[in-house]
Structure 1
Amino acid sequence: MNIESLLECLSTIGHYGHIVSTEEQIVLQNSLLILQNENHFRNVFLWGKILGADKDYYVAYGYVKDVLYGKIYYYSTNCVDWGLLPQPTKNGLLLTPLCTTRFQGDPALVIDVLIEKEETWFLEEKFKGPQLRKLKEEDRLAALVHLITKEAAVVPRGVNFQRPDGVVVENLSFEGLSALEAREISSFQHDRAATQKYNTNLLTRDDYNYAMDFLDPLDIDIPEGSWIIQIAAGETLVLLKCLFWPGLVFFHVLKTRKHGFVYIGNGKRCIDLPFMLSPFS
């Protein structure tokens, strides 16, 4: 969520179970403003908070030119001192989904991850038996942020605009979704590079627009029903909750530019979701 409306947005989603204390909100807003000025970011966003056993991780990102491909992530354990979050490593992306322990709050901590023989089918190298791998918590954090962003980061349709040169910028003419549009899951898009072919997303809409429909809509997610839409506050606010990642919520104040998502959770994915959804719903 944008730091310009950070306090208002955190207070809004606080009514729906995502609590950040008032002290944390004020310290976060001030430290993120300093982070924006020091790095000359055009905009800075609070990504979320990952709960740890000893300390929590606060994650934020900013961009200079490209709102989609130019994101630079930072993390902090005290809301004041921000460190650059490294790029996710191949080892981290493989081992992070297998971790069952909680984050401890120490970026330098190295943990042992046991890979069972049945879990080696997705690895390039094959093992004859169980393997014990090392994983640094900082790499685990980077991989987790990457996975959640890839699967659950959301923006409303039309908020981003792709220029002819491929650079993605904020759409200044975006005035928000209507109450009717907010009820359609196709009015929301993944906030990451598209995985479908360039014309797939265009062919699914009658009112397609080359500059706005370059991202994947949420209605193609599998399984169907992994997102919950809730219209609240007298049809002035829409909330989206991701069932795959409990703790992630997207909000959008209808007919305004205010929108954003925040993740507050322990970093565990609900892998049993396909078996929990009713096939008749």
Structure 2
Amino acid sequence: MDAETLPYALDLVAGSGVCLSPEKRAALRTSLLLVRRDYRFEQVRLWGRLQGIRGAYYIAEGLGPDRVGARSRLYSLNCVDWSLLPPPTEEMVAMTAALKGRFQGDPSYEYEPPEKKEDAERPYEEETGSMLKEEIRLVATVHQIDKAVGIVPRGAYVKSPLGPVHENRNFEGN
């Protein structure tokens, strides 16, 4: 959902039971517009919300002039303060593949790597693995969800002769 039309889009989604408090809605719209200005994005979209045990992660996506180019993702715990997520790597996805269960809602929470649990029978050996932060798991999860279900309708984007890809103005609805 684009930051410009966020209040209208949230009204449309509210019929399915997904809704935010008026305070969260106001904070979200205002803060996303500030994120667009501060990070110099051309467009900011609300990617979604991942619910944890102690809190929720609100994920936003910033787009530059090239719509198919790299996307910057940010997360917030309170819909006001936003932090950039590092770009996903295959190593991050591989490290978090064995983790199961719900998110805690705290980006500094550390998970014990699965191979470390297997080595628990050998208590006198030196620790070789490091703890895995929930922020890395968040990056990998958002990347996997986007990769699995992200689609673009044919004709929605047009490549300009100068190189960047833009939204097709003829594709817009009324």
Could you say which TM-score interval applies, normalised by the shorter chain?
A: 0.7 to 0.9
Structure 2: gaps of 5 or more residues: 116-128
Q: Is the 8 A contact 1:89 1:139 kept in 2?
A: no
Contact kept, 8 Å, 2:72 with 2:87, in 1: the verdict is no
CA separation of 1:156 and 1:89: change in aligned 2, threshold 3 A: closer
Q: How many angstroms does 1:166 deviate by?
A: 4.3
Aligned residues: 163
Q: State the identity %.
A: 40
Question: Partner residue of 2:59?
Answer: 59
Matches within 5 A, 1:81-230: 81-114=81-114, 134-176=131-173
3-state DSSP class of the match of 2:113? strand
d(CA) in 2 for partners of 1:6, 1:68: 22
Q: Could you tell me how far apart the structure 1 residues matched to 2:20 and 2:68 are? A: 26
Provide Cα deviations, 1:212-261, integer angstroms capped at 9, x if missing partner. Answer: xxxxxxxxxxxxxxxxxxxxxxxxxxxxxxxxxxxxxxxxxxxx3xxxxx
Shift of residue 97, structure 1, vs aligned partner = 3.2
1:7 aligns to what?
Answer: 7
Q: Aligned partners of 1:154 and 1:17: how far apart in 2?
A: 24
Contact 1:114 1:133 in 2 (8 A): no
| Distance apart, 1:81 and its partner CA | 0.6
Change (3 A) 1:24 1:157: farther
Q: Answer 1 or 2: which has greater helix percent.
A: 2
The answer for the alignment partner of 1:220 in structure 2 is none
For 2:172 and 2:23, the matched residues in 1 are separated by 32
Letter in 2 for 1:73: R
- SS state at 2:152 partner: strand
1:45 and 1:14 map into 2 onto residues whose CA distance is 18
CA distance in structure 2 between the aligned counterparts of 1:167 and 1:151, rounded to whole angstroms: 25
Other-structure match for 1:225:
none
1:187-235, Cα deviation, whole Å (9 max, x unpaired): xxxxxxxxxxxxxxxxxxxxxxxxxxxxxxxxxxxxxxxxxxxxxxxxx
**TM-score if structure 1 supplies the norm length?**
0.53
CA RMSD of aligned residues (A): 2.2
Deviation at residue 3 of structure 1 after TM alignment: 1.1
Question: Counterpart in 1 of 2:42?
Answer: 42
Displacement after TM superposition at 1:155 (Å):
3.4
The letter for the 1-side match of 2:145 is I
**What code does the residue aligned with 1:155 have?**
V
Give the SS at the match of 1:156: coil
Judge which range, 84-93 or 138-147, deviates more: 84-93
Q: Report what 2:22 is aligned to.
A: 22
Aligned ranges 1:246-265 → 2 under 5 Å: 256=174
